[in-house]
Amino acid sequence: MKSNLFTVIFAIVMGVVCSLVLTAVAEWITPRREANEKAERYRNVLEIFNIAVAEGAANQEIIKTFEEKVTIVGDDPANPDYYLYGRLIAIPAQGPGLWGPIEGLIGLARDGTTITAVSFYKQEETPGLGGEIAGKDFTDRFVNKKLFDTRGQPALKLVRPGRAKGDYEVDAISGATMTSDKVQALITAAAEKFKSKEAE
Amino acid sequence: MKFLLRILDKVRPAFEADGRFAFFKPLFDAFDAFCFSSDETTKCAPFARDSLDIKRYMSMVIIGLLPATLAGLYFFGWRILPVIVVSYAAGGAVEVLFGIIRKETINEGFLVTGLIFPLTLPPGIPLWIVAVGMALGVLLGKEVFGGTGHNIFNPALVGRAIIAVGYAKPMTSAWIKPGARLWGNLGGYLTSPDAVTIATPLVQAKQQVYEPIANMFWGNVSGCIGETCAAAILIGGVFLLLMRIANWRTVVGIIGSFVVLNVIMRALSPEVFAPVGFNVLAGGLLFGAFFMATDPVTSPITNPAKWAYGIFIGCVTLLIRSLTVYTEGVMFAILLGNIFGPLFDEVVFRFRFRRYRLEI
Amino acid sequence: MAQAPVPIGGPTAKSTFLAGLWANNPIFCQILGICSALAVTTRLENSLVMGVALIFVIAMSNLAVSILRHLIPRRIRMIVEVAIIATFVIVFDQFLKGYYWEMSKQLGPYVGLIITNCIVMGRAEAYALHNKASLSVVDGIANGLGYAVILAIIGASRELIGTGKLLGYEVLSGNWYVPNHFFIYPPGAFIALGLLIWLIRAIKPQEDDSSQSGAGS
């Protein structure tokens, strides 16, 4: 049995060594990690604006392209109200899904209502049913639809598959009513938030 | 028949221990036992739970299932015949494989599983999904536990659960519009699955559109092959109750608790819970209560436990049906009931034998 | 803790290696490390990275514990082991966050949870405390590899059946293969792991059932 003093000293030395190692690692990694997070967010926005980014593009490249072309509107750069590229607009849309949070972006044309692109880059919906919202088949259905009606109210509706008519209706995913309802809710919420911020 | 018996007796030596085809003995025995009464007695459960032997037991269940099968045939057409044949072929293949590996005789249990399983599927289901579901059901629901009598879960429901989750799309959309004419869909095998599809009453009920009760009772609605015609299920089910094959406590427990809970919940929130009459006849509640929950292997043994098991299944069915994304909850409710069944038995044993323990 | 038969004259590098990989494999013999084996195996790529993480952590923590084995006071040895393991796990986690961002997002909390993986602690307690450093590293690598191989098999089968792909490349063509999503759900993991253990135990001669240790996280 070793002495109490030795035990205490050993514990202190172990603690110091471990924390030194962890501090060093954190110092080394943190800038890279933050760049990763930023680049990921920027890449999603660039894709909505249809600005080409190479598949394996480095973080700096993405951040540089983004900062050259896109303006962030809003007080908190990590959680902006919307993005501007020339007069094209991208609105962040987020909300609860069926199983987990859904995050996406809605791209609008110069008129501020015609949709150019939609993406849901984060979702955990049922694979094969609600999970299809991330697929191109679904997101393409939004293109050239209108987010707001002539009075400026959010008007886009997801309707039962095969029934979509006109500028304000999009076919929902068949067999995924619950997910479609959540998507509808988060699009309307994003549109309302955008209107209120734009008015400021 | 005599002719067949003579042939079987003649080739029997080839299948005995040192014969040329000893390898296929299980297959031979199965065929033999299916055609003629076996000269052997059952060696494994569920013999202790009923005075019937397993073969008579299984043939009674098949007779009980006939009305529902015929109703399915009438409403959805000849297409359900290949569905049943594929189910038997796939289940039988797995059964024979394990019979050969384990050198055991093949049990008649799969004759029931092989018929119940297709009756729980949408009529327009692709045949290969039927095969995958039945094979996985027999493998994972029965063989991994050691074969008939050892399984915890109803094999047909295990297979159905796997394909319901795995192939969610066809399992929730391959509905066929039931035939409304006098001869139903009997003339129309060639109705291709995606020709006339129609939402089931339970799907419509989520939008608070309720099918008329009469249609629900006679079965002229969309749904799984064997579950739509309440009248046929009741005929077969009451037959099983009278023959004492299905235990009335389980059946009454399920339907009774379902009705009671539904009445209470509908009074509290009518927009979420459907009307009682509709709900009892819709979906697979009756089919599950009479034919699946009463399976002797996977349901509890003691009478109080059978009550608890039935009430558990009835309540869980209603909650899943009304409060979750799933439109139907019978399948999951019975599987959960299978898990809790032994626990209910255990509680009953504890109470009954407490006296004896205290004396020791 | 179950131990493989130790050859006379103490363990050699070869016997240690084979024990970890097969005879006393952490997953199918000791049923340890099941949580992560179930959670991350939705795709082969995740399983491989998780396997590499575990090999790294066990080898390094075994090495450290073995070097310090005469110094560590008995009374606080568990705490010391946990501190060492936690340090290496965080190093690996940070490394992924810095250099393999996508992968780190996919694995989520499971890399951090290696700290609670019984295999790591178990090897430190059962092996590294009693054997010299070089052998301890071999033991760590072998056990990590035993875990990684099982994870890779489960990951490959779940990804293949559940999505028709392997490492993200389409293997079974979508023209005729309909993926069974059941296998990328959690219950699919239980069934895949259960079937694999069933199969291996059917092949592997059973020595003594009483030596099987209980389940762990």
pLDDT at residue B51, rounded to an integer: 45
In a domain, C23, yes or no: no
A3-13 per-position pLDDT tens digit: 888 999 999 99
Answer yes or no: are the C-beta atoms of C193 and C37 closer than 8 Å: yes
Q: Cβ of B206 under 8 Å from any chain A Cβ?
A: yes
Q: Cβ of C194 under 8 Å from any chain B Cβ?
A: yes
Integer angstrom CA distances of residue B87 from B91, B135, C49, C87, C154: 6, 8, 41, 55, 28
Structure tokens at C207: 């020595």
Q: Which domain holds residue B197?
A: 49-353
Q: Which domain holds residue C126?
A: 29-204
In a domain, B10, yes or no: no
Q: How many angstroms away from the CA of B164 is the closest CA of chain C? A: 8
A114-138 per-position pLDDT tens digit: 888 888 888 888 776 777 888 888 8
Query: B255: closest CA among B280, B220, B219, B224?
Result: B280
Number of structural domains found in chain B: 1
Dist. CA B96–CA B24, nearest whole Å: 9
Q: In the 8-state DSSP scheme, what is residue B230?
A: H
Probe site for chain A from B129, B325, B327 (most A CB atoms < 10 A): B325
In a domain, B29, yes or no: no
In a domain, C110, yes or no: yes
Q: Cβ of A33 under 8 Å from any chain C Cβ?
A: yes
Q: Which of residues 106-145 of B touch C (CB under 8 A)?
A: 132, 140, 144
In a domain, C159, yes or no: yes
Q: Which of residues 54-113 of B touch C (CB under 8 A)?
A: none
In a domain, B66, yes or no: yes
Question: Is pLDDT larger for residue A42 or for residue A2?
Answer: A42
Cα torsion A128, A133, A134, A138: sign? positive
Dist. CA A84–CA A82, nearest whole Å: 7
Tell me the residue length of chain C.
217
| Chain C positions in Cβ-Cβ contact with residue A2 (cut-off 8 Å) | 73-74
- Partnered with residue A115 across adjacent β-strands are A108
Q: Quick one: which H or E segment has residue C187? A: helix C186-203
Answer yes or no: are the C-beta atoms of A161 and A172 closer than 8 Å: yes
In a domain, C12, yes or no: no
State whether A29 and C75 contact (CB < 8 Å).
no
Give every residue of chain C whose pLDDT is below 70, as ranges.
Answer: 1-10, 206-217
Estimate to the nearest angstrom the gap between the alpha carbon of A53 and the chain centroid.
17
State whether A29 and C80 contact (CB < 8 Å).
no
Which 3 state secondary structure label does DSSP give B297? coil
ipTM: 0.78
Question: Is pLDDT larger for residue C144 or for residue B27?
Answer: C144
In a domain, C83, yes or no: yes
- Cis ω on the peptide bond leading into residue B46 (within 30° of 0)? yes
State whether B168 and A174 contact (CB < 8 Å).
no
Probe site for chain C from A17, A18, A43, A129 (most C CB atoms < 10 A): A18
In a domain, C212, yes or no: no
Rounded to an integer, the average pLDDT of B320-337 is 87
Number of structural domains found in chain C: 1
pTM: 0.77
Structure tokens at C217: 């996280």
Q: Which of residues 50-69 of C touch A (CB under 8 A)?
A: none
Q: Report whether pLDDT(B246) > 80.
A: yes
Q: For a pLDDT cut of 70, what percent of chain A falls above it?
A: 96
Nearest residue in chain B measured CA to CA from C195: B144
In a domain, C3, yes or no: no
